[in-house]
Amino acid sequence: MTATLSPTEIVVCSLDRLIPGRGVAALLPDGRQIAVYLLDDGSVHALCNIDPIARAAVMSRGLVGDRGGVPVAISPIGKQAYALDDGRGIDDEAYGLSVFPARVVDGTVLVSTQPAIRHQTSRAAA
């Protein structure tokens, strides 16, 4: 990898380990969990892995889809949808998921350990 990691970034995996439309869980150095998604357009997104309603680490096992033109991650438990760009709850805006900046450099997926958008209902927000 030729790009320099920022002090708040971690290497998650190589891009070829991700399957479009499916999530994978990753552990941050402080023990928080994130869900990382590869979309069909090649973009990579990272959200808190803890479903804020079920309070279970399952978001990486849910589906990725589209609600009214908004790319979403869908909880496998309650089927609530969360926007991949800002983490807001599509079905219930009282709930949301923190969003972690993600990027691909030389085929490697990098994710920030600090959320760009925090939601109070997200356990990985702090």
Backbone dihedral angles phi then psi of residue 51, each to the nearest 5 degrees? -60, 120
- According to DSSP, residue 49 is labeled S
- pLDDT higher than 80, residue 125: no
The predicted model scores a pTM of: 0.90
- Looking at domain 9-112, which of 3.30.70.20, 2.102.10.10, 3.30.360.30, 3.40.190.10 is its CATH number? 2.102.10.10
Q: Which of 15, 37, 34 is nearest to 25 (CA)?
A: 34
Give the pLDDT of residue 126: 44
pLDDT tens across 12-27, in order?
999 999 999 999 999 9
